[in-house]
Amino acid sequence: MNKIFYISLLLITILFSGCSDDGKPYYPPPSLSTNGNVVGTAQVWVTSGDKSRLIAPQQDIDIIDNTTTDYLSITVDASEKYQEIEGFGAALTGSSAYVINHMSSTQKMALLQELFDSENGIGISYLRLTIGASDFSLSDYTYDDMPSGQTDTNLDNFSIAPDQVNVIPVLQDILNYNSEVKILGSPWSAPAWMKTNQSLYGGELQTQYYQVYANYFKEYIEAYASNGITIDAITPQNEPLHESNYPTMKMEAVDQANFIKTALGPTFINNGITAKIIAYDHNFDVPSYPLTVLEDTDANQYVSGSAFHAYAGDVYVMSQVYNAYPDKGVYFTEISGGEWSTDFTSNLNWYVRNILIGSIRNYSKNVLFWNLALNDSYGPTNNGCTDCRGVVTVSSSGSVNYNEEYYAIAHFSKFVEPSAYRISSTTFDSSTGLSNVAFENPDGGKILVVLNESPSTKTFSVIVGDNRFDYTIPQESVATIIWD
């Protein structure tokens, strides 16, 4: 009779759970095996595709000392650790910095607190900068532009003055909210006078300027340091297999290896520069590129890892490169949303499954989206994408729209601290529509992010040692669950 009662209660709960759109928490139906003592609680935050919950706290979950369950289940094991996490965030492009810096002081500080403060915001912990101009800058420039036909091999005219208008002031404001933000710098082009075509658009770096260009990186890192900003890592070239009518530069894998081993790496070592050198910085579809750089023994000694974008290819390539060189990190450094895909639900699902859970389960140490902020005309742009979406959109009046990219990042950046580790979590059967990834923070706190892409609520159990908790996740939602 008792078993019949619980089965009936389970069926009633399944029928009626998930029907409310008022943002109230979902409660799991009781498991058929609920005997056990409460030994702790877990906290939950949920974002749903229908926007009824947006990084919304839910009722705490009881953790009990009983691992028996009749639900779908996974096991989280903190004794099995994988990569160390360096952070989550986006790119503070010239356009993003301009948009933010032209808000009123009150609006700007409120936005930066929301983005970078982990207590009162989402705690973004990693930024990417463009070294010079990109397709999201106010104009074309490098830090040492010369009149046609002239060179500056001593870099006497080197100056980061263009960045001191918007980028550096915004960065300095950001550091007031999170002084530990990691920064990755990536160039779109060397100065035109160093290149084969004497243009910022396309062309290649001339070998005779390898050492000069290495010195250029050194000057960049030192100039930012003089403004109180530490560059944690650089890539030698953004998207080195792409050329366009905005600042770009082709750099084949063999050429990148040669540049690193003959100039960039030794220059960093000889000048005490500790910034990481991260190879590639382009799409998943050419894993041979980072593998070629890492196969070069002389270059390998200077390289900390490889960076990837998601505009082509498969995220599993990150594991391919990691498995070949497990002593080197892999990094995810760019993806952008845009007006080509405007459905909040499908975008949220795709980002969390492929970019966040996907790259982290394939050993990425970070996850970075493209523009941190753009205006409501998808800019300012510089001959590049005309309909890309920022993590946030800032209107001409200074009001802010928090896009799906913001909520995808938030479910990780707010809870997973730098120096956390990904820990073992088994996977759900793909037919369930559930996916997950787990972490342990430096203080021992555990984090589990679960995505439910299915059109129905799903109840699951999480086994942690001798304990268990159950949770019912709404349809088409992401949940972050944390416990000690």
- The DSSP letter of residue 144 is S
Give me the catalytic one of 114, 334, 404, 476. 334
**283 and 333 Cβ atoms separated by less than 8 Å:** no
- Helices 94-101 and 167-177 cross at an angle (nearest 10°) of 70
Structure tokens at 155: 């870099």
Q: Cα-Cα-Cα-Cα dihedral of 344, 350, 352, 354, to 10°?
A: -160
Helix (H) or strand (E) holding 478: strand 477-483
CA distance 185 to 142: 13
Strands 421-425 and 434-440: antiparallel
Residue 402's DSSP bridge partners are 392
**453 and 472 Cβ atoms separated by less than 8 Å:** no
Helix (H, G, I), strand (E, B) or coil at 42: strand
CB hemisphere CA count around 138 (13 angstroms): 11
CA-closest candidate to residue 186, choices 148, 242, 147, 145: 242
CA distance 178 to 366: 17
Residue 479 contacts by C-beta under 8 Å, 6 or more apart in sequence? 44, 45, 46, 58, 411, 449, 450, 452, 471, 473
CA distances from 7 to 12, 19, 271, 288 (A): 9, 20, 70, 55
CA-closest candidate to residue 191, choices 147, 264, 142: 142
CA-closest candidate to residue 372, choices 115, 123, 91, 132: 91
Give me the catalytic one of 86, 114, 204, 239. 239
Residue 45's DSSP bridge partners are 57, 480
Q: φ, ψ for residue 204 (rounded to 5)?
A: -130, 160
Q: Is 239 a catalytic residue?
A: yes
**135 and 383 Cβ atoms separated by less than 8 Å:** yes
Helix (H) or strand (E) holding 44: strand 38-48
In the chain, what's the furthest Cα-to-Cα distance? 92
What residues are annotated to the active site? Answer: 239, 334
